Amino acid sequence: MYKLISIVKITFVETLRQPVYAVIIAAALLLFLISPSLSMYTMDDDNKLLREIGLSTLFLTSLFVAIFSAAGAVSTEMENKTILTVLTKPVQRPIFILAKFLGVVAAVALAHYLCTIALLMTIRHGVLETASDTHDWTVVGSAAAVAVATLLLSTFFNYAYDWKFTSTAVVVAAILATLTLVFLALIDRDWQFNPAKNGITRLDIYGSVLLFLAAVVIAAIAVALSTRFNIVVTLSACIGVFLLGLISDYVFGRFAGTHLWAQAGRFLVPDLQVFWISDAIYEGSAVPFRYILISASYALCYTVGILAVAVALFQRRQVA
């Protein structure tokens, strides 16, 4: 267990220190910032489009963080020959694969959590649909305070303690954003104590949880592929699986009753539409908690199966 936890911590820290990790999060936060302006020109309810844009941004952010982080989790260790040092400790290969996966998932969870708070703040602000609508200055002021405080604190820690700026900024932003979310959950747009009008709905929370489950599945696939292939092949294959998973019902589902290849494809390729609730947003229908449990069970079973394949592939891999 000590070896497992140690590798998880190292993988988590290494993932946070990758430049692409901070770049993806920064790009997502920028998209959240401008999404109210992008969704104000519909002929229907603009806030429904705002939710869909926000969830799409969250979906892509978590998936790309998972793909880029997990793709190099094992293959980079092999290319740098650092895996020889780890396995001679000795560390059993199944423990190594599991620890790498858990470290990547922890990093994905942090990025997903931070972007989820940004999504909730964006939805709380809403779209200015008419000329009489005003900005939610509670949200705007809170977001500005978090951004300025994160920049100042990260700069201070980088200068005083030589902490890496980007990884420190992500952690500091997550902590400050948590405090801000608590504040916004209690204070309304008129700066009054009014938790009933905090703009946070169960549907938004459920949507975020489901998208995180999708990112976990993709991370497991990336870890499995990285045991045999280099980072370029792993990235390409994961993006292909992601795109195919979005249209799994169309490609495999309609032929599954009559064709064996379609049955195999539907079984092997994860159905990522399970984790997407765009239809519920537009129809205004509720998503029962039972659906979350069923989706979580599907993600868990698929992830365990993929990790078992990853362990089997890595057991016979020559690392010398």
Residue 272 to residues 55, 211, 234, 284, Cα–Cα distance (Å): 14, 9, 19, 21
Q: Model pTM?
A: 0.91
Q: Report residue 43 as tokens.
A: 């002929």
Instruction: Identify which of 178, 179, 176, 196 has the alpha carbon closest to the alpha carbon of residue 187.
Output: 196
Identify whether 227 is part of a domain.
yes
Gyration radius (Cα) of the chain, Å: 21
pLDDT, tens only, 7-31? 899 889 989 988 899 999 999 999 9
DSSP states of 169-237 as a string?
A: HHHHHHHHHHHHHHHHHHB-TTSSB-GGGS---HHHHHHHHHHHHHHHHHHHHHHHHHTTS-HHHHHHH
Please tell me the predicted confidence (pLDDT) of residue 88: 67
How far, in Å, CA of 248 to CA of 251, rounded? 5
Residue 151 within a domain: no
Distance CA 36, CA 34 (A): 6
The mean pLDDT of 40-47, rounded to a whole number, is: 68
Residue 157 lies in a domain: no
As for how many domains the chain has, the answer is 1
Most confident of 37-51, 71-85, 192-206: 192-206
253 has pLDDT over 90: no
Rounded-to-integer distance, Cα 245 and Cα 228, Å: 22
pLDDT at 317 over 90: no
Q: What is the extent of the structural domain holding 306?
A: 2-127+202-315
222-250: pLDDT as tens digits:
999 888 888 888 888 888 988 888 888 78
Residues 291/280, Cβ–Cβ less than 8 Å: no
139 pLDDT band, cuts 50/70/90, is: very high
Is position 44 within any domain?
yes
Q: Does residue 217 have a pLDDT over 80? A: yes
pLDDT per residue over 179-216, tens digit each? 999 999 999 888 888 888 887 888 889 999 999 999 99
**Cβ 205 vs Cβ 51: under 8 Å:** no
